[in-house]
Amino acid sequence: MYDARVAKIYTRTGDRGETSLFSGGRVGKDHARIEAYGTVDELSSVLGLLICEPLPPGVADRLREVQENLFVIGSVLADVEGRLDLAGGGWDPEPLERWIDQLDAELPELKSFILPGGSRAAAMAHVARTVCRRAERRVTTVADDAEAVPAGVLPYLNRLSDLLFTLARHLNARLGVSEQAWRPRR
């Protein structure tokens, strides 16, 4: 049982730039796997900021589900030896695809690149999208090194970034905020 009067948040075991993986063993805090699950954690935190914004009904609940899925993904990335029984959990892209289709059906056709921004919530969704793309790159690095990454994790992150882009557009549309088209300078 956890006793806050006895347990401390700091352990001092990472003071020399190393940390422990869930499965055991120590690696540098700049190890590719630590970068991967750290960026997934960062994405979840950015989504937490977005959830604090006024959002259409149901959006915050769906984003919390995404946060839960990201926690599962981070756990799997920290579990090099596969000790956790999380196979197949938390990274099915199909619910994201359905949500994208639902949001996209309410949006005007996209005819140019758009600049991130508009409403504060949309801007946060764009920030989350870029962090998601970075998480995808970091997880790809881990997967390229032939270390175990469950097959569905990369498609989930890829679809999640698409969702966050579509959500940003949807949030602006719901608020009547125009999207700023990017026009190359001539």
The CATH code of the domain that includes 34 is 1.20.1200.10
What pLDDT is stored for residue 148 in this prediction? 72
- Helices 94-104, 153-175: axis angle to 10 degrees equals 20
**Is residue 12 domain-resident?**
no
Percent of the chain with pLDDT over 90: 59
**Is residue 7 domain-resident?**
no
**Is residue 47 domain-resident?**
yes
**Is residue 5 domain-resident?**
no
Q: How many domains does the chain have?
A: 1
User: Does residue 51 contact residue 70 with C-beta atoms inside 8 Å?
Assistant: no
Q: What confidence tens digit (pLDDT) does each residue in 3-54 have?
A: 656 777 777 766 777 766 766 777 766 788 889 999 999 999 999 999 999 9
**Is residue 4 domain-resident?**
no
Distance CA 40, CA 157 (A): 9
What pLDDT is stored for residue 32 in this prediction? 86
Measure the CA angle with vertex 157, ends 19 and 143; round to 5°.
55
Is the pLDDT at 158 greater than 90? The verdict is yes
**Is residue 19 domain-resident?**
no
Q: How confident is the model at residue 145 (pLDDT cuts 50, 70, 90)?
A: low
The whole-model pTM stands at 0.88
What pLDDT is stored for residue 9 in this prediction? 76
115 or 19: which carries more pLDDT confidence?
115
**Is residue 118 domain-resident?**
yes
Distance CA 64, CA 55 (A): 13
Q: Which residue segment(s) compose the domain that 133 sits in?
A: 28-78+89-103+113-179
Q: Average the pLDDT over 49-65 and give the result.
A: 97
**Is residue 65 domain-resident?**
yes
Q: What confidence tens digit (pLDDT) does each residue in 100-111 have?
A: 999 999 999 988
Q: What is the mean pLDDT of the chain?
A: 88
Going from the C-alpha of 123 to that of each of 82, 92, 95, 160, the distances in angstroms are 37, 26, 23, 16
